[in-house]
Chains A and B, each alone.
Chain A
Amino acid sequence: MSGWEPDVSMSADEHIRAMREALVAEHESRIAEVQRWADEASDDWHRRWHLDHVARLRAMRYPWQADREAEAAA
């Protein structure tokens, strides 16, 4: 009993996976929506404004990606 530690790294829980998938799906749909606004923009300024917004959204790192990158950097 003593010294036993649960194996956290491998228990990729279904619930967590489902949450992550939902987050990715929602974020991608948000990006697609702003991209559509850019496509439908009536002038250059608004198109660039939307595209800038899309770029910023795309640049966001998902939490688990950020963790992995931090680990890799370390």
Chain B
Amino acid sequence: MWAVAPPAHERRPLVTSPRVRPHLPARPLWRCRVCAASWLCSPARLALRYEYAEDPVALAIYLNLQLFDAAADLHRLNPHGGPDPKTLFERFLAWTHRHSPPSRSGEARIRSACMVSVAAGIVCAVTTPQERDEFERMRLVEQIEKDRQIIASYEENMMFYRIRIEENRYALGRLDERLGA
């Protein structure tokens, strides 16, 4: 299923907001910068499907360019054992043709669009229940990690205040010594 993309001038970059990193490739390995999976990872595909929902030709052109660059990089890294053209084609392009194009009917479009909001408020098209589950799982894991970060930050700050108490006690001790003397 395809989601309805907003007009071009309202589009945001790939699955990204100020607080969410885009799932982009790290070259020359062509692994996702965020999840380290082989690019295109699932979130990247979801983002691209959303981004180019109204323009699959542009998506194909974009992915062709990426495929060209990836083939060059991966061949340079591993001239004898790099991925063959068929594998690269499957990885970069074939997946875009496995889904039907977007419906042009307004109601059908709304019915068929399976939208899931991402943690930062971005809306992303999800194609299968499994992808939706994976997406939800990623969001929850990220939330748990954020909570852990906050707790760690509280603990660090608590330690800082404890050290400061010791500094004040040291100053107090010097004053008490003088008073005692």
Contact = CB atoms under 8 A, between A and B. Distances in A.
Interface residues of B, number: 30
Interface string B135-154: 00110011001100110011
A19 B170 contact: no
A25 interface: no
Interface in A4-34: 4-8, 10-11, 13, 15-16, 19-20, 23, 27, 30
B160 A23 contact: yes
B146 A11 contact: yes
B163 A60 contact: yes
Nearest to B175: A49
Contacts of A1: 134, 137
A4 B146 contact: no
A2 to B, nearest CB: 9
A57 interface: yes
B37 A16 contact: no
B167 A53 contact: yes
B64 interface: no
B140 to A, nearest CB: 10
A45 B175 CA distance: 10
A23 B158 CA distance: 10
A53 B150 CA distance: 31
Interface of A: 1, 3-8, 10-11, 13, 15-16, 19-20, 23, 27, 30, 45, 49, 52-53, 56-57, 60, 62-64
